[in-house]
């Protein structure tokens, strides 16, 4: 297992997430959990949804195996890039001219006036999708060369752009702050594209793309493109369960009390921190190695990676899950309770965070096991499993949203995460999972988690007494 690459990737993601939390702290101070924060989060939701789907696996896990197997890599890569970019640009133009229908789709529970006020921001934010596709495509080529640092740290540029906008417009009216954030999203996306182009040039990958453009009319890559097409749509569905679930939760939250969309956003930002720096960082680094090992019939090597990575994720994600549940109030207080973010909003966000954290361990481990489905081209199986998870999540959301509010939506997402994990392990091979946990590490894991829980209980009691 490539620990150095994993830690490098994790460190880069950590920097990005720290700047993201800094951005959210300023945003909470400037807008609180208000109608304007809800409006911005709704406008940013769709491009952010696609960012997570693209950047956190769907495109890469369809493109990478096909790219590795391609006999004409440059031509294949160029053809896929142009097809996607032209489609997204046309889609973005459509949203620019007709933003209200898509905004209504994002916020069914809002009245016509609120939809009309949010629509211009939706049109602005949507162009970020085009930029993040370019970033994801270039990042996948860099992953092929096993370079991860540029992509991991580049999200910090988006956050920095938004922090600068907040700093400049902090004292302005909420409407000006929301619009400044929307334009900052595009500036941050452009900066991400620039740093990836620099990295592509450094690794001489631009030669592949230039050669692909020169010979783009070759007909002998048609079968490769068809193979990619067969993998891509199932790959999107298989990777996007948490994002689609969160997207639906945002829609459902618009039927709840004002601020519910913001509670979900702020809590999910904290939840995403350990998921990204531990699970996504590990899966991103391992995927090229696992794909190459399985392609070359070195299955033992691939499953050795799985064994080592499983215990790394189990200990780290297990500790983060317990910490997020038991220390939720001090965490939210420390990060957000200032300015227009009140004590009541802290308690609401705390409850949502605890429900999200219930699903941290299964989501992270499912991400790891799913590598073997994508590396062995079983994208359709992964998609079916994702559908089961999504059905469980949405059904639970409809049942729990009224008695528990935003917390019920978060708990429903965690239920979907457990369903995703169970079915993914079953498909990869229950025998392989049992072989992993039949070791002394299982005893170490249970002992560590028990002692860590007692420590967190004591720490939480002391911290709550201190801050209140």
- Residue pair 195/154 in contact (Cβ under 8 Å)? The answer is yes
Distance of alpha carbon 131 from alpha carbon 197, whole angstroms: 12
* Cα four-point dihedral sign 200, 205, 210, 213: negative
What is the pLDDT, as a whole number, of residue 80? Answer: 82
What is the pLDDT, as a whole number, of residue 189? Answer: 93
The tokens for 419 are: 């369903």
Tokens 């970020």, located at residue: 128
What is the pLDDT, as a whole number, of residue 141? Answer: 87
Distance of alpha carbon 468 from alpha carbon 269, whole angstroms: 24
* Side-chain-side CA neighbours of residue 448 (13 Å): 15
Distance of alpha carbon 379 from alpha carbon 355, whole angstroms: 29
Residue extents of the structural domains in the chain: 3-467
What is the pLDDT, as a whole number, of residue 372? Answer: 83
What is the pLDDT, as a whole number, of residue 212? Answer: 55
What is the pLDDT, as a whole number, of residue 33? Answer: 63
Tokens 């007909």, located at residue: 219
The tokens for 187 are: 């500036």
- Residue pair 313/279 in contact (Cβ under 8 Å)? The answer is yes
Mean pLDDT per 10-residue section of the chain, whose length is 468 residues: 70 81 80 74 74 64 75 78 88 90 77 84 90 89 83 87 90 85 94 94 79 57 69 71 77 83 87 87 80 75 82 94 94 83 87 95 92 81 90 94 91 94 92 88 93 91 78
Span 195-204, pLDDT tens digits: 999 999 988 8
Distance of alpha carbon 419 from alpha carbon 426, whole angstroms: 11
Task: Please name which of 258, 187, 247, 267 lies closest in space to residue 39, comparing C-alpha atoms.
Answer: 258
CB neighbourhood size of 333 (10 A)? 20
CB neighbourhood size of 38 (10 A)? 26
What is the pLDDT, as a whole number, of residue 443? Answer: 93
CB neighbourhood size of 69 (10 A)? 15
Distance of alpha carbon 276 from alpha carbon 224, whole angstroms: 31
Residue 171: what are its φ and ψ, rounded to 5°? -95, 0
Distance between start and end Cα atoms, the chain: 45
What is the pLDDT, as a whole number, of residue 172? Answer: 81
Helix (H, G, I), strand (E, B) or coil at 34: coil
* Contacts of 210 by beta carbon, 8 Å cutoff, 6+ apart: 74
Helix (H, G, I), strand (E, B) or coil at 428: helix
CB neighbourhood size of 458 (10 A)? 11
* Contacts of 88 by beta carbon, 8 Å cutoff, 6+ apart: 129, 130, 133
The tokens for 137 are: 């495509």
């Amino acid at each position: 297992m490539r620990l150095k690459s994993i830690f490098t990737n994790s460190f880069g993601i950590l920097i990005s997430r720290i700047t993201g939390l800094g951005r959210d702290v300023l945003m909470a101070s400037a807008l609180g959990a208000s109608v304007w924060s809800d409006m911005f989060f709704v406008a940013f939701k769709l491009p952010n949804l696609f960012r997570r789907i693209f950047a956190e696996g769907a495109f890469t896990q369809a493109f990478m195996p096909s790219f590795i197997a391609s006999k004409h890599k440059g031509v294949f890569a160029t053809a896929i890039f142009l097809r996607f970019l032209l489609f997204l640009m046309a889609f973005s133009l459509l949203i620019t001219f007709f933003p209200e229908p898509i905004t209504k789709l994002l916020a069914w529970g809002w009245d016509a006036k609120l939809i009309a006020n949010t629509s211009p921001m939706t049109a602005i934010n949507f162009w970020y999708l085009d930029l993040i596709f370019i970033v994801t495509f270039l990042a996948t080529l860099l992953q092929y060369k096993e370079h991860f640092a540029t992509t991991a740290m580049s999200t910090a540029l988006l956050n920095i752009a938004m922090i600068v906008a907040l700093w400049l417009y902090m004292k302005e009216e909420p409407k000006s702050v929301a619009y400044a954030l929307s334009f900052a999203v595009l500036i941050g996306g452009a900066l991400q594209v620039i740093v990836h182009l620099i990295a592509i040039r450094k690794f001489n990958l631009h030669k592949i793309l230039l050669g692909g453009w020169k010979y783009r009319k070759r007909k002998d890559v048609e079968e490769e493109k068809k193979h990619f097409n067969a993998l891509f749509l199932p790959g999107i569905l298989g990777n996007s369960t948490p994002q689609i679930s969160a997207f639906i939760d945002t829609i459902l939250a618009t039927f709840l009390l004002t601020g519910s969309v913001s509670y979900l956003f702020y809590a999910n930002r904290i939840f995403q921190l350990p998921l990204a720096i531990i699970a996504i960082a590990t899966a991103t680094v391992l995927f090229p190695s696992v794909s190459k090992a399985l392609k070359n019939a070195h299955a033992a090597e691939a499953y050795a990676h799985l064994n080592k990575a499983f215990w790394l994720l189990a200990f780290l994600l297990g500790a983060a899950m317990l910490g997020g549940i038991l220390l939720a109030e001090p965490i939210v207080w420390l990060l957000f309770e200032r300015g227009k973010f009140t004590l009541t909003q802290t308690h609401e966000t705390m409850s949502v965070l605890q429900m999200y954290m219930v699903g941290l361990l299964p989501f992270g481990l499912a991400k790891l096991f799913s590598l073997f489905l994508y590396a062995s081209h079983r994208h359709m199986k992964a998609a079916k499993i994702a559908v089961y998870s999504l059905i469980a999540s949405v059904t639970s959301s409809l049942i729990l949203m009224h008695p528990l509010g935003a917390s019920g939506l978060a708990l429903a997402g965690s239920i979907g995460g457990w369903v995703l994990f169970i079915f993914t392990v079953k498909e990869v091979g229950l025998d392989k999972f049992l072989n992993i946990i039949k070791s002394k590490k299982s005893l170490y894991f249970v002992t560590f988690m028990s002692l860590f829980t007692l420590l967190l209980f004591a720490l939480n009691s002391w911290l709550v007494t201190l801050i209140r």
